[in-house]
């Protein structure tokens, strides 16, 4: 894989940092350039280093087993950390991530800008809302660690709106005032990173095993703007020790550079505990956004509306229902449907883990109806997961044979 020297160009309202990515593996077609479009107000912090690009593409290169040649300079601290990042991913998922060699044209250490912003990757969901809340200026008293600028990435998830057709503007309208009322700013950038990661899709897993690099790459594209940046974790240690997915206490900090330190947050609490913490934050009752569908808003009130049917919606609703908190949340317009819970299949390891936490909660709160529905879904998922596992290992064996 070859990453060309990044270029900076000016567009109407944005500054575009981009590079071409060439891959040797036959049968994979990549878009022309990988780009990050950053609002002009942050232009002063951007530099044409390759940090963002090598981080963005590393798991894909590891997946296809290609060494990387970077025709640009990178941070020495990051270059050092990438070796450890590779080691951890290869240790956890050897069938997905082979270790590769990375060659750089040069090294360049850059320090943080004067602003010294502290950020968090924010989407309005449970993990990022929890991390934001915990480290807002009113709650985080350690000097230099309170969040000043939450980053919302247009192009990271299924809510992507790269042509700015309106959904991202609506998202800004929803969260900007909430952040402002707590002394923090809303920052957003656009990137087509998802189309690159999807082009080199990892068999049977989607992209979740390395999604942290998409967050880190966006932050690194902003150059020296952030000095510290929280990556919201998705599960508590040590329960997720056997299912590390995409971000992890032992992974995220290795993507730091001289200018920004990545801090993995939330490994000390369960999803249940996070959801309950958020239920004590009134602003989120109108804008907690957990749904995997595109964001929807009530036409009359403008409140964020989750579908109340998908796995992410139901997993959150179960916690709020069990604790008697669901009535506070206008963002769940429909009542919880036990039949929908029974039909859930927990494909991802994280979803399976959260279903166990929810089952424990339902039993503890004497909600036999919820517990029975979750238990049924877990039984069906166990059966499904074992047959999928067999299929994937057969496919991977075949793939390895074809590589050899």
**3-class secondary structure, 32:** coil
Name the minimum Å distance from CB 186 to Zn ion.
23
Of 48 and 307, nearer to Zn ion (C-beta) is: 307
**3-class secondary structure, 289:** coil
- Give which of 132, 140, 151, 116 is closest to 228, Cα–Cα: 116
- Asked if 313 touches Zn ion (CB under 5 A), the answer is yes
The secondary structure of 94-156, three-state, reads CCCCCCCCEEEEEECCCCCCCCCEEEEECCCCHHHHHHHHHCCCCCCCCCCCCCCEEEEEECC
Q: Which stretch binds Zn ion (CB under 5 A): 11-19, 122-130, 259-267, 290-298?
A: 290-298
Of 71 and 293, nearer to Zn ion (C-beta) is: 293
CA atoms within 13 A on the CB side of 347: 9
Q: State the number of binding residues for Zn ion (CB under 5 A).
A: 5
Label the pairing between strands 2-3 and 21-22. Answer: antiparallel
- Asked if 296 touches Zn ion (CB under 5 A), the answer is no
Token reading at 289: 């956004």
Name the minimum Å distance from CB 326 to Zn ion.
14
- Asked if 307 touches Zn ion (CB under 5 A), the answer is yes
Cβ contact 281:133 at 8 Å: yes
Name the minimum Å distance from CB 308 to Zn ion.
6
Q: Which stretch binds Zn ion (CB under 5 A): 44-52, 134-142, 189-197, 300-308?
A: 300-308
Name the minimum Å distance from CB 151 to Zn ion.
23
Of 193 and 313, nearer to Zn ion (C-beta) is: 313
CA–CA dist 361, 349 (Å, integer): 19
Q: For residue 190, report the phi and psi dihedrals to the nearest 5 degrees.
A: -110, 145
Of 270 and 306, nearer to Zn ion (C-beta) is: 306
Q: Which stretch binds Zn ion (CB under 5 A): 207-215, 304-312, 320-328, 348-356?
A: 304-312
Q: Which stretch binds Zn ion (CB under 5 A): 21-29, 80-88, 186-194, 310-318?
A: 310-318
Query: Cis omega before residue 238 (within 30°)?
Result: yes
Of 55 and 374, nearer to Zn ion (C-beta) is: 374
Pick from 79, 250, 277, 310 the residue near Zn ion by CB under 5 A.
310
Q: Which stretch binds Zn ion (CB under 5 A): 122-130, 252-260, 299-307, 377-385?
A: 299-307
Token reading at 303: 């409140």
Which residues, including other chains, have CB under 8 Å from residue 86's CB and lie 6 or more apart? 58, 62, 97, 99, 100
CA–CA dist 265, 285 (Å, integer): 22
Of 258 and 337, nearer to Zn ion (C-beta) is: 337
Name the minimum Å distance from CB 381 to Zn ion.
18
DSSP state of 309: S
Of 88 and 307, nearer to Zn ion (C-beta) is: 307
CA 200 to chain centre: 18
CA–CA dist 213, 55 (Å, integer): 6
Cβ contact 245:93 at 8 Å: no
Name the minimum Å distance from CB 317 to Zn ion.
9
CA angle at 77 for the pair 72 and 83, rounded to the nearest 5°: 85
Q: Which stretch binds Zn ion (CB under 5 A): 70-78, 148-156, 276-284, 286-294?
A: 286-294
Name the minimum Å distance from CB 314 to Zn ion.
8
Pick from 78, 112, 291, 361 the residue near Zn ion by CB under 5 A.
291
DSSP state of 292: S
Of 179 and 284, nearer to Zn ion (C-beta) is: 284
For the segment 331-370, give every residue that binds Zn ion (CB under 5 A).
Answer: none
Name the minimum Å distance from CB 117 to Zn ion.
32
Q: Which stretch binds Zn ion (CB under 5 A): 59-67, 134-142, 163-171, 303-311?
A: 303-311
Name the minimum Å distance from CB 141 to Zn ion.
36
Name the minimum Å distance from CB 140 to Zn ion.
30
**Which positions touch Zn ion (CB under 5 A)?**
291, 306-307, 310, 313
């Amino acid at each position: 894989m070859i990453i060309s020297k990044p270029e900076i160009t000016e567009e109407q309202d944005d500054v575009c940092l981009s590079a071409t990515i060439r891959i040797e593996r036959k049968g994979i077609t990549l878009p022309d350039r990988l780009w990050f479009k950053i609002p002009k107000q942050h232009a002063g912090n951007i530099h044409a280093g390759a940090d963002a690009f090598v981080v963005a593409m590393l798991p894909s290169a590891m997946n296809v087993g290609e060494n990387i040649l970077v025709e640009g300079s990178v941070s020495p601290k990051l270059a050092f950390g990438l070796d450890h990042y590779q080691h951890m991913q290869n240790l956890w998922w050897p069938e997905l991530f082979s270790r590769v060699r990375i060659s750089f044209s040069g090294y360049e250490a850059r320090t943080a800008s004067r602003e010294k912003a502290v950020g968090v990757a924010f989407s309005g969901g449970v993990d990022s809302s929890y991390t934001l809340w915990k480290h807002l200026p009113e709650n985080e008293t350690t000097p230099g660690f309170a969040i000043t600028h939450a980053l919302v990435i247009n192009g990271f998830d299924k809510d992507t709106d790269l042509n700015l057709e309106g959904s991202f503007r609506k998202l800004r309208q929803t969260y900007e005032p909430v952040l402002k009322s707590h002394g923090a700013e809303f920052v957003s950038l656009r990137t087509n990173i998802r189309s690159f990661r999807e082009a080199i899709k990892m068999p049977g897993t989607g992209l979740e095993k390395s999604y942290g690099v998409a967050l880190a790459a966006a932050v690194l594209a902003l150059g020296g703007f952030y000095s510290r940046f929280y990556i919201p974790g998705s599960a508590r240690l040590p329960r997720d020790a056997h299912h590390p997915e995409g971000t992890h206490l032992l992974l995220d900090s290795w993507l730091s550079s001289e200018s920004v330190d990545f801090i993995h947050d939330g490994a000390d609490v369960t999803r249940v505990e996070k959801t309950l913490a958020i239920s004590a934050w009134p602003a989120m009752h109108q804008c907690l956004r957990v749904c995997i569908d595109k964001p929807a808003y009530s036409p009359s009130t403008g409140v964020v509306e989750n579908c109340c049917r998908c796995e992410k919606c139901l997993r959150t609703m179960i916690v709020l229902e069990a604790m008697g908190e669901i009535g506070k949340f206008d963002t769940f317009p429909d009542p919880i449907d036990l039949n929908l819970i029974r039909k859930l299949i927990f494909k991802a390891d994280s979803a399976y883990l959260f279903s166990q936490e929810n089952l424990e909660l339902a039993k503890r709160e004497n909600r036999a109806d919820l517990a029975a529905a979750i238990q049924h879904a877990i039984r069906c998922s166990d059966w499904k997961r074992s047959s999928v596992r067999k299929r994937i290992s057969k496919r991977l064996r075949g793939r390895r044979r074809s590589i050899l």
